[in-house]
Structure formats: C-alpha cells, structure tokens
A and B are shown apart, each in its own frame.
Chain A
Amino acid sequence: MPPAEVLEIALRSLAVAGGATLLAALFGVPLGLWLALRGGGGAWGRVLLYSGLALPSVVVGLLFYLLLSRSGPLGFLNLLYTPWAMVLAEATLAFPLIAAFVLSGARGRVEEVRLLVRSLGGKERHVLPTLLAESRRTLAAALAAGFGGAISEVGAATLVGGDIRHHTRVLTTAIVVETRMGELQAALALGAVLLGIALLVTAFLVILERE
C-alpha cells in the first residue's frame, strides 16, 4: 500500500474516532457526572450503564445500518456508507464507556466537592461544574477509553461504513482487507500504525490532564 494511502487511512481513522469520542463525551460526561451527584444513579442505573460496556459493535452497526439504509427510517439523510455514519455508530459504542468512567471516577469525590462548594458559599447548581473541574484525571481516562474503543472497532465500521476505499476505509477495516488478500505483513504494519496513533492520542490526553 502506498504511503500516501496509509496516511490518508490513518488520518481518517483519527478523524472518525476523534469525532466519535467528542460526540460521545458531549453526552457521556454530563450523564456520568449527573449520576455521580445522585449517589451513583442507583443499582439499576449502574447495571444498565455498565451493561452498555458489553454492547457488541456488530449489533450497533447492524442497528445503524437498518436505521440509515435507504429503505430505513433515516434513509433520506443519505448517511449510510459515509464517515458520518461511522462517527454515529462509534459514538454510540464510546458513550457508555465514557459515562461509566466518569461516573466511577467522580462518585468518590462528590461529597468532598459538595462540602467545598458550600463552604465557599456556592449553591447546589455549582457542584456539577466544580466536580467536572476536579475530575480532570478521570476525564482523561474516560476520553482515552472512548477513543480506544472507537478507533479499534471494526464490526460497526464495516457495516455502516462499507470499507469503501478513499471514502470510508479506516485502519481496522484496511487490516481486514489486507488479511483477506493474504498481505499479512501489510496488515501487521497497519496494526502498528493504529497502536502508534492510540499512543499519541493518549499521550496528548495525559499531558492535558497534567496542565
């Protein structure tokens, strides 16, 4: 595979997984914090959320395929087999990961933060933003988990992206193609690129967390 194409696929992987992580964080972080403020959201809430960690990516891919198919309810959006569809499916997969990480990280600090806010004369509504600011480390771990889940995922990416060259092919689906063609060394090299990207993004998050 020519280096330009590897770069193109790597950048697309980064963009799709990054977009999915941000979209998932937009909903997952507030949900995690909100549940933490309510004492963990109750046993059932947690069971429900943690079960989301086991969401099989092919099932999510299948649901989005049926939803976005031209004969599906959202077919008119013409999103099937585009990178946007992959972002949606991968965000769905990353969402419970991020929410669960935020919840488990923030839960133990809620009382401490609440006392702090009250002692400074703050109201209950100030607790959530303060909790967010105090949970930076948890946030970095949650984003790393969400991003890791999104970029390493292949089932949903194949079903809703279609693995179209120059359009929706990402690192994981390219690895499948190379393996299928018997180009095992190329497949392995792409795997190394994927790990490299994960390493860089995680390093970036850890640096952010320390700032």
Chain B
Amino acid sequence: MRLLALLVLLGPVLALRLATTTSVYDSGLLDRLLEAFFRETGVRVQVLAVGTGQALRLAERKDVDAVLVHAPSLEREALAQGTTAEPYCLAQNAFLLAGPEADPARVREAESVLEALRRIAAQKAPFVSRGDRSGTHLKELELWEKTGLKPQGPWYLESGAGMGQTLVLAAEKGAYTLTDLATFLTVGKKRGLKALYTREDPLLLNQYAFHLVPGSPGEGEARRLRAFLASEEAARIVAGLRVEGTPLFTPLRGRCVFPLRP
C-alpha cells in the first residue's frame, strides 16, 4: 500500500521544492524535520541536495521555493538582490579540520585554525578542497585568505564534489580537509579520518539559514515550512540529532550568529 502511494507520487505533483546543502541532507537532519512537517501539514517537500552556491542560483531562476544554506556572505548578496527573503537562522555547528591519523603537518598541536592551515601549506601535506562554491568551500577560502597564503600546487586537490565524497577522497589520499561536524561524524569517521583541529573558534562557526524565494509558485507552502522550522518542535529535532552521543547541530531559534541583513 505504501509503495502504491509512493508510485502515485511519480506524477508531476506540485509540491514545495527546497534546495539545500549536501551537509544537512547527508546527515539526516532534513529527513527528520520534513517528516515532522509532513505529519503536521500534509505538505510534501522535495529536496534538492546541492551546494549553497548552486542552491542560490536555483533560487535566482525560481526553480525552487526555498533554500536552506550556510554561506552568510552569499546569503547577504542574495537578500540584497531580492533573490531570497525572510531568512531564519535554524541551526549552527562547527567546522573542523579532519585528516589522517599520522597527522604529518602536526595540526593537532596548532594553536589556531590559521596556524593549522599554515602548517599544512608549509609541509605541502595533501589537502582536499571542495572547489564547488559551497558554503564549506567559501569558508575554506575565507580561512586561507586570512592566513595570507594562496593554496596551490600538487598538494592542493579540488574535488568538485559534495562533502561526503570529499571526505571519502581525503581518506583515500591521506589528505586533510575542512568539513562540517555533521558530515564528518556520519561519513568521515567511518572512513578512518580523524578530527584533528576541533577547538572552539569563532572562525569555524557554521550557520544554517532558511530563506524564502519571493515570487516562486510554492511561496505559501514555503512560509508554512518557515513557521514550522521556527517552532519549538523543530528546535527539539535539531538538538536531538546525535551520532554516537555527539549532537550534530545546535538550534539557533532565529538568533543569527552571523548577521544576514545589512
């Protein structure tokens, strides 16, 4: 019966379309939130798991009704241009540097994330960059810029892939990479990568925000989803998602750590 119901959904039903980053999708957070939203409202949400850059491009073309993204600088641009509107800061977690157990650049001993990156560059230890204009990629570029270094050379690999696949690549190459906590715990750990630089650092904060796409056909439903995400139930779901006892996200309840509005 359930299968039959699923097959009926094959048809071109007009449902709410949400573009999001691979990190919230692959960690399973979105599945839980959207299941609860469906139980409450009966609205199906179709999820496109892409990078933040691509998600905002899709919003620009009105191919999606809402986005859940994590690149404050790009988000401010999109808001200023009217591509997206009414951002709601949903959750935060931290970026961390993952790498091989042997830690050839001795990132474990670094005092700050910038020093850790400088050590990697000085050693020319392999480092995998997402290279796809995703939120994580932009964060990585911002950090390199702050170190004053230009990462290039055979040790600097650009994967052009999602976070999970990038972690798999880093594990295979014995390379370092910048990753969000959620995907690291769900994917990277399984593949034998170690969390090497995990200190609390404002530079490594990762903020996820939900935006509406004004003028898209599903704007009304998107507004209902926004209201649901602002509910206490959604915050509980965000806080409750754990891998081996470690919470993956902290709910922000609309209080942005990085301001999105000018």
Measured between beta carbons, the chain A residues less than 8 angstroms from B48 are 81, 162-164
- Shortest distance between the CB of A183 and any CB in chain B (Å): 9
Complex CA distance for A111 and B190, rounded to whole angstroms: 64
**B3 within 8 A of partner (CB):** yes
Chain A positions within 8 Å of B, measured between CB atoms, are 4, 7-8, 11-12, 15, 69-72, 78-84, 162-168, 177, 179-182
The 9 closest A-B pairs by CB, nearest first: A180-B164, A182-B187, A164-B46, A82-B12, A70-B62, A180-B165, A162-B48, A71-B61, A180-B162
Provide the B5-36 mask, 1 if CB < 8 A to any CB of A, else 0: 01101101011010000100010000000000
Measured between beta carbons, the chain A residues less than 8 angstroms from B216 are 70
Measured between beta carbons, the chain A residues less than 8 angstroms from B22 are 180
Residues A12 and B10 in contact, CB atoms below 8 Å apart:
yes
* A72, closest chain B residue (CB): B61
Which of A80, A177, A181 has the most CB atoms of chain B within a 10 A radius of its CB? A181
Measured between beta carbons, the chain B residues less than 8 angstroms from A78 are 12, 14, 217
Measured between beta carbons, the chain A residues less than 8 angstroms from B186 are 181-182
B contact residues, range: 20 to 34
Give the dominant DSSP class at B's interface.
mixed
Residues A182 and B167 in contact, CB atoms below 8 Å apart:
yes
Which of B9, B15, B63, B191 has the most CB atoms of chain A within a 10 A radius of its CB? B63
**B161 within 8 A of partner (CB):** yes
Contacts A167-B9, A180-B162; A81 near B63 (Cβ below 8 A): yes
Neighbour of A166 across the interface among B6, B163, B165, B167, CB < 8 A? B6
**B47 within 8 A of partner (CB):** yes
* B6, closest chain A residue (CB): A8
A-B contact pairs, 20 of them (CB 8 A): A11-B7, A69-B63, A70-B61, A70-B63, A70-B217, A71-B61, A71-B63, A81-B17, A81-B48, A82-B12, A84-B12, A164-B17, A164-B48, A166-B44, A180-B22, A180-B161, A181-B26, A181-B186, A182-B186, A182-B187
**B205 within 8 A of partner (CB):** no
Residues A179 and B165 in contact, CB atoms below 8 Å apart:
yes
Measured between beta carbons, the chain B residues less than 8 angstroms from A84 are 12
Chain B positions within 8 Å of A, measured between CB atoms, are 2-3, 6-7, 9-10, 12, 14-15, 17, 22, 26, 44, 46-49, 61-63, 161-165, 167-168, 186-188, 190-191, 216-217
Contacts A11-B7, A12-B10; A162 near B46 (Cβ below 8 A): yes
Neighbour of A8 across the interface among B7, B26, B188, CB < 8 A? B7
Contacts A81-B46, A165-B47; A8 near B12 (Cβ below 8 A): no
Measured between beta carbons, the chain B residues less than 8 angstroms from A8 are 3, 6-7
Complex CA distance for A81 and B49, rounded to whole angstroms: 12
Complex CA distance for A59 and B262, rounded to whole angstroms: 38
Contacts A4-B3, A81-B48; A166 near B9 (Cβ below 8 A): yes
Query: Apart from A71-B61, A164-B46, A179-B165, what are 19 other A-B pairs with CB-CB below 8 Å?
Result: A8-B3, A8-B7, A15-B10, A69-B61, A70-B217, A71-B62, A78-B14, A80-B63, A83-B10, A83-B12, A162-B48, A167-B10, A177-B49, A180-B26, A180-B161, A180-B164, A182-B164, A182-B187, A182-B188
